[in-house]
C-alpha cells in the first residue's frame, strides 16, 4: 500500500488501534487478569449504562455539539419512580417498566420543548434539569434507598441466556452466536461490495475489506469465547446490541439521521433546505430522555437498589465516550460505532486501572487526559484537512 | 498645497484563483476627502484591507508609502498606530456596553490592569462633543439610534488619534438627515486638516463632499477625477464605473418561449428581522413568467435578498404582508418546506454560510433539499442517492474526484454548481438565484449562464438577483430595479442599459 493509503487507514481507525493497544497494555500490566472471562463479562455489565446513554447523547451532540447534562439525574429519578412502583407499590414489573419509560420520555419532551421551540440554550435547560430531577428523586425516595428489586425484574437484566447445549465448561450457545455474528458480518460486507461493483460504484480495496473482516471477526470470536467460559451471553448485552443496532440504523440510513447531521453541519443551510430544525432538536432531546430511562432501568437492576445518589456523573461518562469516539465538538460528525469504541475504551481504562489497583483519583486524572487528547486530536486533524 | 499623505503603489493581491487587485495605484493628499467608487466586488474593500494590515505585508505585492515612508503593516494595530483608522460598513460596537467603554475597547485608558474610568469617560465626552453627539459617554449603545452609533464610531476613530480616516459606506444604514449631518461633519474635519477616504455607492453624496474620486473596476484603477479639473456629474462617474464593453460573455438563447405568470407578489411588505419597525421591502408588486429570466438589479442593501427570502417560505423578515400567487392561485407559504412543495427554490447568495454543508460530501449536499426523492418511508436508498449525485455531477460538469468529495474542498465555481444541483434536484418551477456567480471565475460563470438558459428552455422561471450589471443585462428578459426596499424601475431587456439602471436608482434616491 502507498503511504497516503496507510495514513488514511490509520486516521480512520485511530481509535480502534488505540483501543487495541490500551487493551494489550493493561493485559500485560495485570499479568493477563484483564482478559479473564469474568472481567470481560464485567466490562459489559459495568458499562451498560454508558453504552446506552452515549448512544442518545450522540444524537444531541450531532445537532451542533449540544450536550445533555441532565441524564445522570434522569437515570436517578427514573430508578426512583421504578423502585417505588415495584417495591413500595408492588406493581407488575412490566407496568413499572412502562411507567419508567414514560417518565423518561416526559422529561425528554419537557427539555426538548424548551430547547427546540423556545430556543433556550441546551446547556442551561439540561443544567436546570440536572438540579431539578436530582432534587425530585430525593423527594420521591424521601432520602432513602429502596432495595432490593423483585427477582423477576433482576432476571430481565442480570441473568444469562441459557445454554441450549448444556456444555460442561464452555457455553456452546454463546460461542455459536459469536460465530453466527461473524458470518452475518462477512456476508453483509461481501453483499454490499458486490452490489457496488455491479452498479459500477467505487469500492474500497479488497485488502482493507479483508483486514476489516478478519480483525472484527477475530475480536467477536475471542470475545464470545471468553464469555462462553464464564456464564454465557449476559442479557444486558442483548439490550445493548438492540439499542445500538436501532440507533446505528437511524443515524446512518434514515432521513431523520441525515437531518441530525445536516443541522450540525450547517443549521442555516439545513433550514433553507426545508428541514424543520426545531423538530429535529426536539426529537434528539426527547429521545435522550427515553434512553436515560432505559439506562435507569439497567442501573437499578445492576445495583438491585434505587438510591438518591444513583447516576451521579453518568452524563460525563456518556459525553466523554462520544467525544473520545470521534464525535465533533461542533456537531455534524460522529457515528454510533465510533461512540461504542469510545465507550469501550473508557470502560477498558476504568477496568484496567481498577484491577491494577490505581487510586480512584488518579483514574479520574487519566480519563480526563484521554478525553482532552481525543478532542485535541480531532480538532487538529480537521485543521490540517483544511 | 500640502504634500501626499498616502500613496499605494502597484498593489496586486491575489486570492487562490482570483486576482482581486491588479496594479492598483492610489494617491491621497493631506487634508483632502478622497472618494473610492466602483461596483460591488471591484476591489475597494480589498484595497482598504491591504492598507489597514488585515492582509499583512507580504501577502500582496506593491508598496504602501505613508507620510514618506514605506509601511509594512502586519496587523490592524500597526496601521492604527500610524493613525490610519477604518470605520467598517457594519458597525463594530458592543450593544451592552456604554459609549465610553466601546470607544476605548482594546485601547483601555489607565495604568496596567486597572482602568481609569474617570479618564475614559472624560476623554470620551471630549470626542463626542467634537463629532457633535449630544449624549453622555455613559449611555449604552443599544439605547441610541444607528445614526448616533455611526458618530460614536467616528469619535472612537478620533480617540485613536486618527490622521487618515477611512469610511466604508458610512451612510448606507442612515436616513437622509443623518447622512447629511455626517457629510457636514466630514467637511468640517477637512477644514481642520483631517484626511479622509470615503467608499460609497451614493454618488450624489460623493459628488458633494469629495475632492478627488478614484474609480476602481475589476481590481484595477481606471481613473482619478479631480474636482478642479473634471466635472463631478453622476453620469461622468457612472461612465467610469461601468464603462466596459460587453462581449459575448453570455450564451445566446435559441428561442424564447415565454408563457403566463408563474409567480407573482402584490403589495409585498417585509419588516426587518431585528429592527421590526424598519421596512426592508416596501409594497413591492412583481411577477415572473414561465420560461423567463427575470433580472433583479440594485445596490447592496436594496432589499432584494430580503424580498426573495421572504417569498421563500418566510425565511426572512417580520410582519410580512401582501399576496403571493403561484400559477395564478393565491397561496401562503408558511415555511421553507411549503415553499419547496410548491416548487419554489431559493439559491442563496452566501453558499458557504447558508447554502452548503462544507464538511459533508457532494452526495449529501445534492439531495438535502429533496431527501424524500431518494428515500422511502424515511429510509435513504444510498445507491439511488449516489446515482442522483452522479447524474447532476455529469449534467453540470462539476469537477471533482468523486461525489464522496467534501464540498469544502471544491473551488467556488464547483461549489456553486453543487448548490445549483441541490435545487435542481428539488425540481422547482421557479428558481430564485441570489448572486449566482459571485466570486467565481469567468469560465464557471459561463457554464452557470448555460445552465440558467437550459432551465428556462425547459419552461422554468428564473429570478436572478445580481449586483453585476453586465450579467443582469446579458441574461435577463426583463429587469426590475430595486432601491431602498422599493421597485424603482421595470425595464425590458431591449431598452435596458447600465446607464438607465443606475439612473433609476439615483432618481429614486433623490426623490426622497
Domain ranges across chain A: 49-159+256-385
DSSP helix/strand/coil, B4: strand
Size of interface A-B (CB pairs under 8 A): 84
ipTM for the predicted complex comes to 0.86
Quote the domain boundaries for residue B364.
Answer: 291-318+329-510
Confirm whether B124 is domain-assigned. Answer: yes
Q: Say yes or no: B235 and B363 in one domain.
A: no
CB A296 within 8 A of CB A148: no
Question: Burial, B330: exposed, middle or buried (Cβ in 10 Å; 0-12, 13-18, 19+)?
Answer: exposed
Query: From residue B315, how far is each of A114, A268, A269, A271, B14 by CA, in Å?
Result: 22, 10, 11, 8, 35
Q: At what angle do helices A71-83 and A277-303 cross, to 10 degrees?
A: 50
In this prediction, residue A8 has a pLDDT band, given cuts at 50, 70 and 90, of: confident
Task: Report how far residue B216's alpha carbon sits from residue B224's, in angstroms, rounded to the nearest whole number.
Answer: 9
| Best CA proximity match to B251, nearest among B44, B502, B453, B2 | B453
Compute the nearest-CA separation of B359 from chain A (Å): 7
* Residues in CB range of A14: below 8 A, 6 or more apart: A377
pLDDT (0 to 100) of residue B393:
93
Contact B357 A270 (CB under 8 A): yes
| Domain stop point among B206, B227, B242 | B242
Q: Indicate the average pLDDT of chain B.
A: 87
DSSP helix/strand/coil, B332: coil
Q: Say yes or no: B114 and B191 in one domain.
A: yes
Q: Say yes or no: B65 and B131 in one domain.
A: yes
Q: Say yes or no: B346 and B471 in one domain.
A: yes
Q: Which chain B residues are within 8 Å of A266, Cβ to Cβ?
A: 353-354, 356-358
Q: Say yes or no: B238 and B295 in one domain.
A: no
Question: Mind giving me the DSSP string for A196-254?
Answer: HHHHT-----HHHHHHHHHHHHHHHHHHHHHHHHTT--BHHHHHHHHHHHHHHHHHHHB
**Region A30-34 average pLDDT:** 89
Confirm whether B491 is domain-assigned. Answer: yes
Beta-carbon count within 10 A of A9 CB: 18
Q: In chain B, helix, strand, coil percent, each to 5?
A: 35, 30, 35
Confirm whether B233 is domain-assigned. Answer: yes
- pLDDT tens digits along A214-264: 988 998 999 999 899 888 899 999 999 999 999 999 999 999 999 999 999
State the CATH number of the domain containing residue B222: 3.40.50.300
From the list A199, A255, A266, which residue is nearest B371 (CB)?
A: A255
Which of A142-151, A176-185, B71-80, B248-257 comes out lowest in average pLDDT?
B248-257
* Partners of residue B464 on adjacent β-strands: B295, B433
Q: Say yes or no: B212 and B299 in one domain.
A: no
Task: Report how far residue B454's alpha carbon sits from residue B463's, in angstroms, rounded to the nearest whole number.
Answer: 14
Task: Report how far residue A71's alpha carbon sits from residue A56's, in angstroms, rounded to the nearest whole number.
Answer: 10
Q: Say yes or no: B301 and B223 in one domain.
A: no
Task: Report how far residue B49's alpha carbon sits from residue B44's, in angstroms, rounded to the nearest whole number.
Answer: 9
From the list B339, B357, B380, which residue is nearest A269 (CB)?
A: B357
Contact B357 A258 (CB under 8 A): no
Do the strands B261-271 and B279-289 form a parallel or antiparallel pair, or are they unpaired? antiparallel
From the list A254, A265, A268, which residue is nearest B380 (CB)?
A: A254
Check CB contact of A272 with chain B, cutoff 8 Å: yes
From the list A201, A255, A265, which residue is nearest B357 (CB)?
A: A265
pLDDT (0 to 100) of residue B245:
45
Compute the nearest-CA separation of A195 from chain B (Å): 9
Q: With 50 as the cut, is the pLDDT of residue A272 above it?
A: yes
Element housing A45 (H / E): helix A37-62
Q: Which chain B residues are within 8 Å of A255, Cβ to Cβ?
A: 371-372, 375, 378-380
Q: Say yes or no: B82 and B198 in one domain.
A: yes
Compute the nearest-CA separation of B156 from chain A (Å): 34
pLDDT (0 to 100) of residue B413:
83
Mutate to test the interface with A, among B273, B336, B381, B387 (most CBs of A within 10 A): B336
Contact A274 B340 (CB under 8 A): yes
Compute the nearest-CA separation of A313 from chain B (Å): 32
Q: Say yes or no: B358 and B504 in one domain.
A: yes
- pLDDT tens digits along B474-510: 899 999 999 889 999 999 988 888 888 888 887 776 5
List own/partner pairs for A208-215 with CB under 8 A and 24 or more apart: A208/A9, A213/A185, A213/A186, A213/A189, A215/A16
**Region A30-38 average pLDDT:** 89
CB B343 within 8 A of CB B288: no
Total structural domains within chain B:
2
Question: Burial, B106: exposed, middle or buried (Cβ in 10 Å; 0-12, 13-18, 19+)?
Answer: exposed
Mutate to test the interface with B, among A253, A274, A326 (most CBs of B within 10 A): A274
pLDDT (0 to 100) of residue A261:
95
Q: Say yes or no: B503 and B373 in one domain.
A: yes
Mutate to test the interface with A, among B379, B410, B433 (most CBs of A within 10 A): B379
| Best CA proximity match to B445, nearest among B215, B249, B187 | B249
* Partners of residue B340 on adjacent β-strands: none
Q: Say yes or no: B215 and B299 in one domain.
A: no
pLDDT (0 to 100) of residue B243:
65
pLDDT (0 to 100) of residue B17:
60
Contact B380 A201 (CB under 8 A): no
pLDDT (0 to 100) of residue B1:
44
CB B67 within 8 A of CB B30: no
| Domain stop point among B212, B227, B242 | B242
Q: Say yes or no: B174 and B48 in one domain.
A: yes
pLDDT (0 to 100) of residue B246:
41
In this prediction, residue A386 has a pLDDT band, given cuts at 50, 70 and 90, of: very low
From the list A256, A268, A276, which residue is nearest B337 (CB)?
A: A276
Residues in chain B where the model's pLDDT stays below 50:
1, 245-246, 511-512
Contact B368 A275 (CB under 8 A): yes
Amino acid at each position: 500500500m502507498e503511504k497516503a493509503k496507510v495514513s488514511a487507514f490509520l486516521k480512520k481507525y485511530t481509535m480502534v488501534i488505540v483501543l487495541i493497544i490500551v487493551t494489550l497494555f493493561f493485559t500485560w500490566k495485570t499479568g493477563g487478569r484483564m482478559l479473564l472471562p469474568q472481567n470481560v463479562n464485567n466490562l459489559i455489565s459495568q458499562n451498560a449504562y454508558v453504552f446506552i446513554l452515549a448512544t442518545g447523547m450522540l444524537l444531541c451532540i450531532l445537532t451542533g455539539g449540544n450536550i445533555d447534562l441532565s441524564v445522570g439525574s434522569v437515570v436517578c429519578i427514573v430508578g426512583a419512580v421504578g423502585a417505588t412502583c415495584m417495591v413500595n407499590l408492588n406493581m407488575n414489573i412490566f407496568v413499572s417498566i412502562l411507567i419508567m419509560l414514560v417518565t423518561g420520555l416526559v422529561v425528554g419532551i419537557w427539555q426538548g420543548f424548551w430547547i427546540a421551540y423556545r430556543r433556550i440554550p441546551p446547556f442551561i435547560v439540561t443544567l436546570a434539569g440536572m438540579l431539578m430531577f436530582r432534587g425530585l428523586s430525593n423527594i420521591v425516595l424521601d432520602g432513602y434507598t429502596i432495595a432490593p428489586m423483585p427477582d423477576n425484574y433482576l432476571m430481565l437484566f442480570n441473568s444469562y441466556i441459557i445454554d441450549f447445549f448444556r456444555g460442561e465448561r464452555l457455553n456452546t450457545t454463546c460461542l455459536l452466536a459469536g460465530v453466527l455474528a461473524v458470518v452475518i458480518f462477512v456476508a453483509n460486507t461481501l453483499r454490499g461490495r458486490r452490489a457496488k461493483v455491479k452498479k459500477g460504484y467505487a469500492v474500497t480495496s479488497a485488502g482493507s475489506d479483508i483486514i476489516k473482516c478478519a480483525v472484527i471477526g477475530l475480536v467477536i470470536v475471542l470475545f464470545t469465547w471468553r464469555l462462553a467460559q464464564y456464564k454465557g451471553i449476559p442479557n444486558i448485552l442483548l439490550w445493548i446490541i438492540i439499542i445500538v443496532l436501532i440507533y446505528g440504523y437511524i443515524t446512518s440510513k434514515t432521513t431523520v439521521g441525515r437531518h441530525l447531521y445536516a443541522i450540525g453541519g450547517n443549521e442555516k443551510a439545513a433550514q433553507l433546505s426545508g428541514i424543520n430544525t426545531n423538530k429535529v432538536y426536539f426529537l434528539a432531546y426527547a429521545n435522550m430522555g427515553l434512553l436515560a430511562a432505559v439506562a435507569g432501568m439497567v442501573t437499578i437492576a445492576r445495583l438491585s437498589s434505587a438510591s438518591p445518589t444513583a447516576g451521579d456523573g453518568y452524563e460525563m461518562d456518556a459525553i466523554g465516550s462520544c467525544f473520545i469516539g470521534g464525535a465533533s465538538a461542533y456537531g455534524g460528525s460522529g457515528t454510533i460505532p465510533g461512540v461504542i469504541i469510545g465507550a469501550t475504551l473508557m470502560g477498558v481504562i476504568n477496568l484496567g486501572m481498577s484491577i491494577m489497583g490505581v487510586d480512584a483519583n488518579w483514574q479520574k486524572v487519566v480519563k480526563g487526559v484521554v478525553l482532552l487528547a481525543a478532542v485535541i486530536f480531532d480538532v487538529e486533524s480537521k485543521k490540517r484537512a483544511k | 498645497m500640502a504634500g501626499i499623505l498616502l500613496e499605494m503603489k502597484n498593489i496586486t493581491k491575489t486570492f487562490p484563483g482570483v486576482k482581486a487587485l491588479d496594479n492598483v495605484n492610489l494617491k491621497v493628499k493631506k487634508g483632502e476627502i478622497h472618494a473610492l467608487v466602483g461596483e460591488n466586488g471591484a476591489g475597494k474593500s480589498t484595497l482598504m484591507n491591504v492598507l489597514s494590515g488585515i492582509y499583512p505585508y507580504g501577502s500582496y505585492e506593491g508598496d504602501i508609502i505613508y507620510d514618506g515612508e514605506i509601511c509594512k503593516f502586519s496587523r490592524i494595530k500597526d496601521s492604527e498606530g500610524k493613525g490610519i483608522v477604518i470605520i467598517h460598513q457594519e458597525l463594530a460596537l458592543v450593544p451592552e456596553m456604554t459609549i465610553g467603554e466601546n470607544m476605548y475597547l482594546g485601547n483601555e485608558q489607565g495604568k496596567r490592569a486597572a482602568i481609569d474610568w474617570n479618564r475614559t469617560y472624560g476623554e470620551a465626552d471630549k470626542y463626542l462633543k467634537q463629532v457633535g453627539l449630544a449624549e453622555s459617554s455613559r449611555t449604552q449603545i443599544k439605547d441610541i439610534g444607528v445614526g448616533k452609533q455611526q458618530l460614536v464610531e467616528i469619535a472612537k476613530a478620533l480617540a485613536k488619534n486618527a490622521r487618515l480616516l477611512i469610511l466604508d459606506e458610512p451612510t448606507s444604514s442612515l436616513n437622509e438627515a443623518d447622512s447629511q449631518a455626517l457629510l457636514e461633519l466630514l467637511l468640517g474635519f477637512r477644514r481642520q486638516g483631517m484626511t479622509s477616504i470615503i467608499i460609497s455607492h451614493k454618488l450624489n453624496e460623493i459628488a458633494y463632499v469629495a475632492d478627488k474620486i478614484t474609480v476602481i473596476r475589476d481590481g484595477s484603477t481606471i481613473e482619478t477625477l479631480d474636482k478642479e479639473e473634471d466635472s463631478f456629474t453622476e453620469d461622468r462617474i457612472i461612465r467610469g464605473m461601468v464603462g466596459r464593453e460587453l462581449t459575448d460573455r453570455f450564451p445566446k438563447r435559441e428561442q424564447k418561449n415565454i408563457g403566463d405568470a408563474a409567480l407573482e407578489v402584490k403589495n409585498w411588505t417585509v419588516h426587518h428581522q431585528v429592527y421590526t419597525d424598519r421596512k426592508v421591502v416596501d409594497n413591492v408588486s412583481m411577477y415572473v413568467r414561465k420560461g423567463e429570466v427575470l433580472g433583479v438589479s440594485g445596490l447592496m442593501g436594496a432589499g432584494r435578498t430580503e424580498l426573495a427570502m421572504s417569498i421563500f417560505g418566510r425565511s426572512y423578515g417580520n410582519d410580512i404582508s401582501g399576496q403571493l400567487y403561484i400559477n395564478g392561485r393565491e397561496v401562503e407559504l408558511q415555511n421553507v418546506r411549503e415553499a419547496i412543495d410548491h416548487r419554489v427554490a431559493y439559491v442563496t447568495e452566501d453558499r458557504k454560510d447558508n447554502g452548503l454543508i462544507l464538511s459533508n460530501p457532494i452526495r449529501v449536499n445534492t439531495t438535502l433539499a429533496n431527501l424524500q426523492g431518494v428515500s422511502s418511508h424515511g429510509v435513504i436508498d444510498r445507491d439511488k442517492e449516489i446515482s442522483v449525485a452522479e447524474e447532476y455531477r455529469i449534467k453540470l460538469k462539476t469537477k471533482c474526484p468523486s461525489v464522496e468529495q467534501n464540498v469544502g474542498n471544491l473551488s467556488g465555481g464547483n461549489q456553486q454548481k453543487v448548490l445549483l444541483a441541490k435545487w435542481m434536484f428539488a425540481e422547482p418551477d421557479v428558481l430564485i438565484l441570489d448572486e449566482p456567480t459571485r466570486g467565481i471565475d469567468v469560465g464557471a460563470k459561463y457554464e452557470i449562464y448555460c445552465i440558467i438558459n437550459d432551465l428556462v428552455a425547459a419552461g422554468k422561471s428564473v429570478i436572478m438577483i445580481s449586483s453585476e450589471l453586465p450579467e443582469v443585462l446579458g441574461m435577463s428578459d426583463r429587469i426590475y430595479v430595486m432601491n431602498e426596499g422599493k421597485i424603482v424601475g421595470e425595464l425590458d431587456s431591449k431598452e435596458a442599459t447600465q446607464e438607465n439602471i443606475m439612473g433609476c436608482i439615483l432618481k429614486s434616491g433623490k426623490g426622497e
